[in-house]
Chain A
Amino acid sequence: MPVAAWFATVKIQQENGEYVLQELLSGNEAIARGAWEAGVTVATGYPGTPSTEILEAVVGYKEDIYCEWSPNEKVALEVAAGAAMAGARAIVTMKHVGLNVAADPLMTLSYLGVEGGMVVCVADDPGQHSSQNEQDTRQYARLGKMPVFEPSDSEDAVKMMAEAMEVSERYRTPVILRSTTRVSHSRSMVTLGERRKPNEVGFERNPPRWVPLPLWGRRMRVEVEDRLKALSEATSTSPSNRIELRDTSLGIVAAGIAYQYVREVFPEASVLKISFGYPFPDKLFREFAAKVDKLLIVEELDNILEEHIKALGIECIGKEVVSPIGELSVDRLRETRARLEGRELPEPAHLPEEDGLPGRPPVLCPGCPHRGVFHALGKRDVIVTGDIGCYSLGVFPPLNRTDTILCMGGGVTVAHGMDKAGESRKLVGIVGDSTFFHSGITGLLDVAYNRGKSTTIVVDNRTTAMTGHQEHPGTGLTLMGEPTIEASIEDFGRACGMKRIVTVDPYDLKETIEAVTAEIDADEPSLVISRAPCPLKERKPIGPRRLIDEEVCITCGKCVKLGCPAIESSEERVRINPLLCIGCRLCEQVCPVQAISKEEG
């Protein structure tokens, strides 16, 4: 869903009598606000929960900031890098797995460096609320030898964007700003500031600076190491890292949002708040350790600070009392505290009333066009390799029509790999429209080029649906709302060399089943495009609502097997919830006794 714009602005009088404006912003809105205040003029990205709303908020500043949804994170990072090489301040946004896609340009951009400030905003998802894995983006900072900031709330996000831009320009390095789900999607107060004057833009030709051929790249490698040493001094004196001395019997090093949980669970303890943690602020670690009797390290996901502090020869505890798996919380740190104090916390009460509560997994919406494709695939014993998007929900009962999911674009290529391995069943790869443009095209080219036989189905619902309906190269609109080209999936298929290309209306089950069956049976690779816009985006009915005539219904359950949330069944009857039905007609088409028809009137 698009982020709600709250704009709850309040006026606060400061001690010096002056007024400041404060606003309740989500972490993502605060990152966008920080970018605007820092004088950013170019912002790029690819949608991905929990990072999506950063660029959606940047659009609010489109008079001052050029912004785009790029086809994927690699492209987005390169575009932002180009802007920063020319002297502009730029940001690029993505979720943690997006940085895997963008890692190639980032690792070498670290060598080239930047002229204008460049901040790579990456949102991690500890606890995997909307992600296929847990990754700690701070590892990339170490790998690429570049600084990383970790805001603990929205106010931090605005301040750290300003500092990250300064650091980026002073040390000529890209900087990572690592958010997490709870920072990105929590709201807290932000003091609003003025916009810094944007940089002058003008690229300066200088091949030894911008071309990492080995001749010059080897020199850059040495400079990167020198930069790290200089930055290690900077992190020890940064305002983003601070020692809060209270009772010194226990000192806690807390990074990112862990700081908030630590303050609530250990209110009396001394704390070293780390929000600019790499290159490691060794001086601060030593200073803090010398002031406290016992040292505890609390960080979300990997124990990066802890391992380094131990390597410095400082005694501390961390992962033995704070597991690196999943997201932290006040509740988890209360368990940590209890263990440290040799207490046992009572288990959270499990009541008999909780038994047998029906699960509520995410499902395809009423009227979702993907449902027709999954229904058609249910007619055959094929292996279906899926991809990242709403259609990943096809894995759940009653559809049960997805066998694997790997990564963006993997739907196309994993099918091809199984085919080449000699899998005896037919192979079908599924990919969405936005995902096809993101990284499905190269896979399709591989299938055609290397004489594969798998069927690729692009479920084109004309939007990036799962992340809340962002535009992409096929929609005809840019992020800034300008009309543009509509890239054609059929044309891409032809250009890749696909000979069999068919487009179907997924609301017409007969047409969809026939096409899918014919393409599966074909002995050469084929491309099926299922095209119908996402009804959740269109916000209007597809047709008149459907009704079940209970006199005619034989409660066979065929309509129920479509997995539509509007179809409610109990032992004695099946009914269509009129508040949910949007008239897609799929249930009418699967009913063997014509019990379902459109509502009268």
Chain B
Amino acid sequence: MKSEITSVLLVGVGGQGVLLASEITARAALAVGYTVKTNEVHGMAQRGGSVTAHVRYGEEVFSPLVPMGEASVLGSLEEVEPIRYHNLLKPGGLAVVSAQRIIPTTVSTGQATYPADAKDRLKRVFPNLVYFDAVEEARSLGNPQAANLVILGAMSTALTLPADAWKESIGACVKPKFLELNLRAFARGRELA
């Protein structure tokens, strides 16, 4: 008897709010009664490096890391980062990608170039792509820092967790004075998906 494990992958660059989005996802799954495992990156990789957060939930979960081809949804706060992790997404799985570009120093110092055709690459790599500028969306709602919640809202359309669980989880994870903003950001993300 093998029960289904749902896997969620969030990627970005240190400081973009990847960990908060994964915490909200984990708590939403907990609220429904699932067993949850998560993994996050600490240490050296946080200094400007690529950051991933894994969340897995189901009746029984073993590995805390998402295996290849198993993520139901992949969300990214940065434009090209998700391409590195495409192998983790299920065939046809939803990818939600923000148009935000974080320029690495390898580009600034001329050792590498930032792909000019990032959007076209994303369309080819992810047949099921939702693409928008999450920072602009969040800014229009009043605060660019809520970009992670816009992405998460769009990602939530590929998951079966109920709306109440998300609401409860967001309420538990953000400061009360930012709750209204974050709920609107999440709702905006659901509209965009």
A residues with a Cβ closer than 8 A to B are: 1, 4, 6, 8, 10, 24, 49-50, 52-53, 129-130, 153, 182, 185-189, 260-261, 263-264, 267, 329-331, 334, 348-349, 351, 353-354, 356-365, 390, 393, 397-398, 466-468, 557, 560-561, 563-565, 567-569, 577
A356 and B49 form a contact (CB under 8 A): no
Q: How far is the CA of A467 from the CA of B145 in the complex (A)?
A: 25
Q: How far is the CA of A8 from the CA of B43 in the complex (A)?
A: 24
Q: How far is the CA of A348 from the CA of B89 in the complex (A)?
A: 12
Q: Which 10 A-B pairs have the closest CB atoms?
A: A49-B43, A130-B43, A186-B64, A358-B112, A330-B67, A362-B47, A353-B121, A264-B62, A130-B44, A260-B62
A363 and B87 form a contact (CB under 8 A): no
A-B contact pairs, 11 of them (CB 8 A): A1-B46, A8-B26, A354-B83, A357-B83, A360-B13, A364-B47, A393-B47, A398-B105, A466-B47, A561-B109, A564-B105
B36 and A189 form a contact (CB under 8 A): yes
Residues of A within 8 A of B174 (CB): none
Q: How far is the CA of A131 from the CA of B39 in the complex (A)?
A: 18
Q: How far is the CA of A533 from the CA of B88 in the complex (A)?
A: 40
Known contacts A10-B30, A187-B38, A330-B67; A358/B106 CB under 8 A: yes
- The reply on B175 being an interface residue by CB < 8 A is no
Known: A153-B64, A189-B36; 20 extra A-B contacts, CB below 8 A, are A4-B23, A8-B27, A10-B30, A24-B26, A49-B44, A50-B43, A130-B45, A329-B67, A330-B65, A353-B125, A357-B115, A358-B106, A359-B106, A359-B112, A361-B104, A363-B105, A397-B109, A468-B42, A557-B110, A568-B107
B144 to chain A, nearest CB (A): 9
A191 to chain B, nearest CB (A): 12
Q: How far is the CA of A264 from the CA of B105 in the complex (A)?
A: 39
The listed residue (A185, A467, A560) touching B39 by CB distance below 8 A is A185
Residues of B within 8 A of A364 (CB): 47
A362 and B65 form a contact (CB under 8 A): no
- The reply on B37 being an interface residue by CB < 8 A is yes
Interface residues of B in 18-37 (CB under 8 A from A): 19, 23, 26-27, 30, 35-37
| B 43-55 binary contact with A (CB < 8 Å = 1; else 0) | 1111111100000
B16 to chain A, nearest CB (A): 11
Q: How far is the CA of A263 from the CA of B2 in the complex (A)?
A: 11
B87 and A348 form a contact (CB under 8 A): yes
| Max chain A Cβ within 10 angstroms of own Cβ: one of B105, B109, B172 | B105
Chain B contact residues: over half helix, strand or loop, or mixed? mixed
B44 and A188 form a contact (CB under 8 A): no
A186 and B39 form a contact (CB under 8 A): yes
Q: How far is the CA of A187 from the CA of B62 in the complex (A)?
A: 12
The listed residue (B30, B68, B110, B121) touching A8 by CB distance below 8 A is B30
B124 and A361 form a contact (CB under 8 A): no
Across the two chains, which residue of chain A brings its CB closest to B122? Answer: A353
B170 to chain A, nearest CB (A): 13
B37 to chain A, nearest CB (A): 5
Q: How far is the CA of A263 from the CA of B62 in the complex (A)?
A: 7
Residues of A within 8 A of B45 (CB): 129-130, 362
B63 to chain A, nearest CB (A): 5
B42 and A569 form a contact (CB under 8 A): no
Residues of B within 8 A of A397 (CB): 109, 111
B81 to chain A, nearest CB (A): 8
The listed residue (A185, A261, A561) touching B62 by CB distance below 8 A is A261
Q: How far is the CA of A4 from the CA of B20 in the complex (A)?
A: 9
B109 to chain A, nearest CB (A): 5
Known contacts A189-B36, A357-B115; A267/B2 CB under 8 A: yes
Q: How far is the CA of A577 from the CA of B68 in the complex (A)?
A: 36
Residues of B within 8 A of A363 (CB): 47-48, 104-105
| B 157-173 binary contact with A (CB < 8 Å = 1; else 0) | 00000000000000010
Residues of A within 8 A of B68 (CB): 331, 348
A185 and B114 form a contact (CB under 8 A): no
Known contacts A130-B42, A357-B84; A187/B37 CB under 8 A: yes
B109 and A398 form a contact (CB under 8 A): yes
A391 to chain B, nearest CB (A): 11
Residues of B within 8 A of A565 (CB): 48, 104-105, 108
Q: How far is the CA of A212 from the CA of B112 in the complex (A)?
A: 60
Residues of A within 8 A of B47 (CB): 362-365, 390, 393, 466
Known contacts A331-B68, A360-B104, A362-B44; A560/B109 CB under 8 A: yes
B58 to chain A, nearest CB (A): 11
B43 and A356 form a contact (CB under 8 A): no
A354 and B84 form a contact (CB under 8 A): yes
Residues of A within 8 A of B109 (CB): 397-398, 560-561, 563, 569
Residues of A within 8 A of B121 (CB): 353
A24 to chain B, nearest CB (A): 6
A53 and B42 form a contact (CB under 8 A): yes
- The reply on B90 being an interface residue by CB < 8 A is no
Residues of A within 8 A of B106 (CB): 358-361
The listed residue (B26, B40, B63, B114) touching A358 by CB distance below 8 A is B114
| B 90-111 binary contact with A (CB < 8 Å = 1; else 0) | 0000000000000111111111
Residues of A within 8 A of B114 (CB): 358
Residues of A within 8 A of B42 (CB): 1, 49-50, 52-53, 130, 185, 468
Residues of B within 8 A of A153 (CB): 37, 64
Q: How far is the CA of A565 from the CA of B49 in the complex (A)?
A: 11
A362 and B48 form a contact (CB under 8 A): yes
B64 and A182 form a contact (CB under 8 A): yes
The listed residue (B62, B83, B108) touching A353 by CB distance below 8 A is B83
B80 and A358 form a contact (CB under 8 A): yes
B125 and A8 form a contact (CB under 8 A): no
Residues of B within 8 A of A361 (CB): 48-49, 104, 106
Residues of A within 8 A of B37 (CB): 153, 186-188
The listed residue (B27, B80, B108) touching A357 by CB distance below 8 A is B80
